[in-house]
Amino acid sequence: MANRQPESRIWIFAEQRSGQPADVVFELLGKARLLAAAPGWKVGALLIGHNVSGTAALLENRGADEILVADNPGLEDYRGGNYLAVVDRAVRNYQPDVVLFGATAMGVDLASRLAARLRTGLSAHCIDLELNEKGELAAVIPWPGGDFLGRIVCPRHRPQMATVSPGIFDVPRSDFPEAEVLTIDGALNSDRGFYRILEKKPEERKPGDLENARVVVVGGYGIGARENWALVEELASVLGGVAGATRPPVDEGWVNADLMVGQSGRTVHPRLYIGVGVSGHLHHLVGVKGTELKVAVNQDTRAAIFDHCDLGLAGDYREIIPALIAALKEPRAGGDL
């Protein structure tokens, strides 16, 4: 595009599987719309796949000015190199200033390779994005160590790229004007660099999954051993909620990685959060949004978690949690509520 001065672009990667856009696509579109509030900015959704015209229709009034569609039988499944070839070509042709991806398996893989191919910067698992009047993107991420957030910029390279976990941004409630649908080149020149998919099995989402739970009880490193994990689960169950974990219990092999709540795990939106033996690293806390009541149980009164919640119980969880479970199981006292 010869003269892009009056027009600046934010693109989002419109990830889809079997024609269904990922939830994070709507979240990214909403955020991109807010970032592109200044005059001269356009939001583009990059949609790649096969037989995706129906998918494009689902995205039409969700915040994009244009939907760029590459449709080709070779793009049916994500196989690394095939999507990369198309995105790389589109980015070189249109030169977007910002390209955003969901921090999903596909988004992270594609964004990482694209950034390397274009030799530009990629901020991973961002929890917020800001765009200044010069068109410079600042990405907010929890910094290693767990006490600070960092503002990351990409001063000399374009496009500026970032991944954002599902659930971080809200989906706008209102509709937007209809987007223009453009066809872009989806041709694949060779099969080099692609693997073959022999078999695929979609994940079955269980109701009561962490993301939708109204009560989440999270166990941290303070749980201390695999055999104590049952207490976390029992408390969650008594409260009609779901158990989650910080990273250490996952790394220690006490629980499955699916349960991890935080920057590189799941983002939850419960009404009630109870952290048990959780130290309070930001990598975990950024994955807990919109709670009505946040409670922490920790032996260490100086634990950072107590600066991030409403109610604190200091003591040994092995005494507190069983007592709490017993008290919650007691029949309701008369006159209560």
Site for other proteins in 87-106 (CB under 8 A): 104-106
Q: Does 228 interact with other proteins (rule: CB under 8 A)?
A: no
In angstroms, the CA 243 to CA 229 distance is 10
Binding status of residue 149 toward other proteins by CB under 8 A = yes
Among 170, 185, 251, 300, binds other proteins (CB under 8 A): 251
Question: In the complex, what is the shortest distance from the CB of residue 55 to other proteins, in angstroms, rounded to a whole number?
Answer: 16
Task: Give whole-number Cα distances, 189 to 29, 48, 82, 194, in Å.
Answer: 30, 16, 9, 12
208 lies in the site for other proteins, by CB under 8 A: no
Per rule CB under 8 A, is residue 308 in the interface with other proteins?
A: yes
Q: Is 113 in the site for other proteins (CB under 8 A)?
A: yes
CB of 216 to other proteins, least distance (A): 12
Cis peptide before 159 (omega within 30 of 0): yes
* 3 belongs to the binding site for other proteins (CB under 8 A): no
* 130 vs 180, beta carbon nearer other proteins: 130
Site for other proteins (CB under 8 A): which residue of 34, 38, 57, 293? 293
The helix/strand/coil state of 36 is: coil
First and final CA of the chain: distance in angstroms?
66
- Rounded Cα gap, residues 283 and 287, in angstroms: 7
Q: Report the alpha-carbon angle 26-164-20, nearest 5.
A: 35
- Contact positions with other proteins (CB under 8 A) in 178-207: 193-203
If binding is defined by CB under 8 A, does position 54 make contact with other proteins?
no
The candidate with the shortest Cα–Cα distance to 43, out of 31, 55, 58, 52, is 31
Q: How far is the CB of 254 from other proteins (least distance, A)?
A: 12
Q: What residues have CB less than 8 Å from 274, skipping those under 6 apart?
A: 215, 216, 217, 218, 235, 239, 295, 296, 297
- Of the candidates 67, 69, 75, 115, which one interacts with other proteins according to CB under 8 A? 115
Does 287 bind other proteins (CB under 8 A)? Our answer is no
With CA atoms as reference, report the closest residue to 157 among 206, 121, 106.
121
When asked if residue 273 is in the footprint of other proteins (CB under 8 A), the reply is no
Residue with tokens 């049952």: 230
Q: How far is the CB of 244 from other proteins (least distance, A)?
A: 14
Under the criterion CB under 8 A, does residue 238 sit at the interface with other proteins?
A: yes
